[in-house]
């Protein structure tokens, strides 16, 4: 196939005779007719067996871009259980691996290739039994994959034909570089390697040099006008720190018939706000963060996918790659650590062709310089005003903290973790702990008396 033939105007049906008809049938049953830009530009090179570095912003359709040619390759090579692993897909988070596996299942509806999900938090013995029987395609997280490569007998990767590193920048940010290197050392060198990333920086390029052949095809889907998708309406709300929880209450009330994701800076903050809104405000809320058990994370994720309305309280573990249908609003209750994380968070809405969505970030009046920072990065926000915040919610929270010991403990942990994240924020010119009124911040967690803060010893007062 001539790689230059395919453009982003073609339809999947035009691949009839070039890839297995069962793949095309699965795509049709999924309601997919036209490939996205990243799919159109990478598919021909991947089908030719080239190594690829693919860069495109979140929500661009990278998953199908690597799954379709990987399946086609194994079909052509007549892979069976006896041949072992033919394709290994490494994801930075369990949720992304789970999502990729679900898409893989749909594509393999009529195809007799075996596949397995290998992630931390699940029962290892069950995975070992599957691996020893013979698995053709593995989707997993780095730590668990390396664990099996080092310790599971009869884990057969000697026939591996395709290695895919998904969300490579996130893999590196999460500290998986040494684990990835460990995995690479145990894989055959004669393979196709594909690296997908939302951004390509020096660390991603270094990883590419370690894992790919010397002349990979680099496909970068650029948008010089803006860094986020066209269908996304985004803005910010300026709110004093003591009114934050009242603002969130009002926001959730306004969007109670919609599907909303709310991002917090820490697991403890998620736990506190989840308990307050779920139990005491009777809101329709789910939660996901990295310190929950895998069954709970999986259940919350799958429940939210199927939900038509409600809110998901989460940390940035849910910011990357997850394709949750029809999310109406992204609320950034706490600021992102950097520009990339902002884009990944808002990328959970307005996904796919002709899709629309909304996003809002909550900042203090003293932090409005962040909006200028985003503008310099081609992200343009309007100023939103949702009206006055309801004071009765604040009074209810304050009474709760006085009377409920469990909630008081959750609130104190959340308050301290909020301050720790703020204190360590990379953009400390804007998010500066020295300019934060700690007593007022404590009010947002229901404390009329500020809890003791022992890690800001250099600070002589609490303003």
Among 220, 254, 289, identify where a domain stops.
220
**How far apart (Å, rounded) are the C-alpha atoms in residues 397 and 444?**
9
331 plus 208 within the same structural domain: no
CB-based contacts of 170: which residues, under 8 Å, 6+ apart?
A: 92, 93, 198, 320, 321
Between these two residues, 228 and 219, which has the higher pLDDT value? 219
**How far apart (Å, rounded) are the C-alpha atoms in residues 263 and 313?**
6
Highest mean pLDDT among 139-148, 230-239, 320-329, 351-360: 139-148
Tell me, yes or no, whether 134 lies in a domain. yes
Give the CATH number, domain containing residue 166.
3.40.50.300
Residue 254 — φ and ψ, nearest 5°?
Answer: -65, -30
Q: How many CB atoms lie within 10 A of CB 390?
A: 15
Between these two residues, 295 and 334, which has the higher pLDDT value? 334
Angle between helices 391-403 and 244-254 (to 10 degrees): 120
What's the pTM? Answer: 0.69
CB-based contacts of 305: which residues, under 8 Å, 6+ apart?
A: 324, 325
**How far apart (Å, rounded) are the C-alpha atoms in residues 142 and 147?**
9
**How far apart (Å, rounded) are the C-alpha atoms in residues 265 and 131?**
37
**pLDDT at res. 344:** 84
Q: Is the pLDDT confidence value at 460 over 50?
A: no
Length of the chain: 463
371 plus 438 within the same structural domain: yes
Closest CA to 323 of 17, 58, 6: 58
Tell me, yes or no, whether 457 lies in a domain. no
96 plus 30 within the same structural domain: yes
- Of the pLDDT bands very low, low, confident and very high (cuts 50, 70, 90), residue 78 is very high
Out of 2-16, 264-278, 299-313, 365-379, pick the least confident: 2-16
348 plus 279 within the same structural domain: yes
Two tokens at 149?
Answer: 């490569």
Mean pLDDT across the stretch 146-166?
92
Q: Is the pLDDT confidence value at 462 over 50?
A: no
274 plus 165 within the same structural domain: no
Tell me, yes or no, whether 402 lies in a domain. yes
Two tokens at 38?
Answer: 């990243």
**pLDDT at res. 214:** 75
Tell me, yes or no, whether 450 lies in a domain. no
Q: How many CB atoms lie within 10 A of CB 209?
A: 10
**How far apart (Å, rounded) are the C-alpha atoms in residues 228 and 240?**
27
Average pLDDT, the chain: 89
Instruction: Say which DSSP state 369 is in.
Output: H
Residue 352, by phi and psi: left (phi above 0), alpha (psi -120 to 50) or beta? left
Per the DSSP assignment, residues forming a β-bridge with 117 are 139
- Of the pLDDT bands very low, low, confident and very high (cuts 50, 70, 90), residue 454 is confident
Per the DSSP assignment, residues forming a β-bridge with 359 are 234, 330
Tell me, yes or no, whether 463 lies in a domain. no
Q: Is the pLDDT confidence value at 150 over 70?
A: yes
182 plus 290 within the same structural domain: no
Mean pLDDT across the stretch 390-410?
95
DSSP string, 357-417: EEEEEEE-GGGTHHHHHHHHTT---EEP---PPPHHHHHHHHHHHHH-HHHHHHHHHHHHH
Tell me, yes or no, whether 451 lies in a domain. no
Tell me, yes or no, whether 452 lies in a domain. no
User: Distances in Å between the alpha carbon of 43 and those of 6, 68, 198, 235?
Assistant: 8, 8, 17, 35
139 plus 254 within the same structural domain: no
82 plus 215 within the same structural domain: yes
Radius of gyration of the chain (CA): 23
Two tokens at 379?
Answer: 């992200």
Residue 316 — φ and ψ, nearest 5°?
Answer: -70, 0
Mean pLDDT across the stretch 210-220?
87
**pLDDT at res. 3:** 41
Reported as a single tens digit per residue, the pLDDT across 418-443 is 999 999 999 999 999 999 999 999 99
191 plus 258 within the same structural domain: no
Planar angle of CA 135, 141, 147, nearest 5 degrees: 75
Burial of residue 299 (CB within 10 Å: 0-12, 13-18, 19+) is middle
Tell me, yes or no, whether 308 lies in a domain. yes
Instruction: Say which DSSP state 329 is in.
Output: E
Q: How far does Cα 176 stand from its chain's mean position? A: 16
Mean pLDDT across the stretch 100-125?
93
275 plus 189 within the same structural domain: no
Among 182, 200, 220, identify where a domain stops.
220
CB 142 within 8 A of CB 120: no
**pLDDT at res. 221:** 76
207 plus 272 within the same structural domain: no
Q: How many CB atoms lie within 10 A of CB 402?
A: 12
- Of the pLDDT bands very low, low, confident and very high (cuts 50, 70, 90), residue 348 is confident
Mean pLDDT across the stretch 326-341?
92
The continuous run of DSSP H or E covering 90 comes out as strand 87-90
**How far apart (Å, rounded) are the C-alpha atoms in residues 148 and 128?**
8
**pLDDT at res. 122:** 79
260 plus 397 within the same structural domain: yes
**pLDDT at res. 353:** 55
Residue 250 — φ and ψ, nearest 5°?
Answer: -65, -40
Structural domains in the chain (count): 2
Percentage of the chain modeled with pLDDT above 70: 93
Domain span at residue 261 reads 232-443
**How far apart (Å, rounded) are the C-alpha atoms in residues 268 and 155?**
38
Per the DSSP assignment, residues forming a β-bridge with 330 are 261, 359
Q: Which long-range contacts (CB under 8 A, 24 or more apart) does 370-375 make?
A: 370/335, 370/427, 370/430, 370/431, 371/236, 373/339, 373/427, 373/430, 374/339, 374/342
CB-based contacts of 254: which residues, under 8 Å, 6+ apart?
A: 386
Among 190, 220, 250, identify where a domain stops.
220
Percentage of the chain modeled with pLDDT above 90: 66
Terminal-residue alpha carbon distance, the chain: 68
């Amino acid at each position: 196939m001539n790689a230059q033939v395919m453009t982003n105007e073609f339809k999947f049906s035009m691949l009839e005779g070039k890839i297995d008809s069962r793949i095309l049938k699965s795509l049709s049953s999924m309601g997919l007719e036209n490939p996205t830009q990243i799919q159109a530009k990478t598919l021909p090179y991947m089908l030719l067996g080239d190594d690829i570095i693919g860069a495109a912003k979140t929500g661009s359709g990278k998953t199908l871009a690597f799954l379709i040619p990987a399946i086609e390759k194994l079909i052509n090579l007549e892979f069976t259980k006896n041949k072992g692993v033919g394709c290994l897909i490494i994801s930075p988070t369990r949720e992304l691996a789970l999502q990729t596996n679900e898409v893989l299942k749909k594509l393999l509806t009529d195809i007799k290739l075996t596949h397995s999900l290998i992630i931390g938090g699940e029962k290892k013995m069950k995975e070992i039994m599957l691996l020893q029987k013979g698995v053709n395609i593995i989707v997993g997280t780095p730590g668990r994959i390396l664990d099996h490569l080092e310790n599971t007998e009869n884990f057969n990767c000697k026939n591996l034909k395709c290695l895919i590193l998904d969300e490579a920048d996130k893999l590196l940010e999460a500290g998986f570089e040494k684990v990835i290197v460990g995995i690479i050392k145990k894989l055959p060198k004669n393979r196709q390697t594909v690296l997908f990333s939302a951004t390509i920086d020096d660390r991603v390029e270094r990883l590419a040099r370690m894992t790919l052949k010397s002349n990979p095809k680099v496909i970068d889907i650029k948008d010089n006008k803006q860094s986020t998708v066209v269908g996304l309406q985004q803005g910010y709300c300026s709110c004093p720190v003591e009114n934050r929880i009242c603002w969130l209450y009002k926001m959730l009330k306004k969007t109670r018939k919609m599907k909303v994701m709310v991002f917090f800076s820490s697991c403890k903050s998620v736990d506190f706000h989840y308990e307050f809104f779920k139990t005491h405000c009777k809101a329709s809320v789910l939660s996901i963060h990295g310190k929950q058990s895998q069954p709970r994370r999986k259940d919350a994720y799958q429940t939210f996918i199927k939900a038509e309305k409600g809110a998901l309280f989460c940390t940035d573990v849910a910011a990357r790659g997850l394709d949750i249908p029809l999310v109406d609003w992204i609320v950034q209750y706490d600021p992102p650590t950097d520009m990339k994380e902002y884009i990944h968070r808002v990328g959970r809405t307005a996904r796919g062709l002709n899709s629309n969505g909304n996003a809002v970030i909550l900042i203090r009046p003293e932090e409005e310089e962040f909006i200028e920072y985003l503008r310099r990065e081609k992200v343009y926000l309007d100023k939103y005003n949702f009206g006055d915040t309801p004071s009765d919610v604040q009074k209810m929270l304050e009474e709760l903290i006085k009377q409920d010991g469990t909630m008081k403990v959750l609130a104190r942990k959340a308050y301290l973790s909020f301050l720790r994240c703020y204190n360590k924020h990379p953009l400390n010119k804007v998010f500066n702990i020295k300019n934060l009124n700690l007593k007022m911040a404590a009010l947002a967690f229901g404390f009329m008396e500020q809890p003791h803060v022992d890690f800001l010893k250099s600070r002589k007062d609490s303003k």
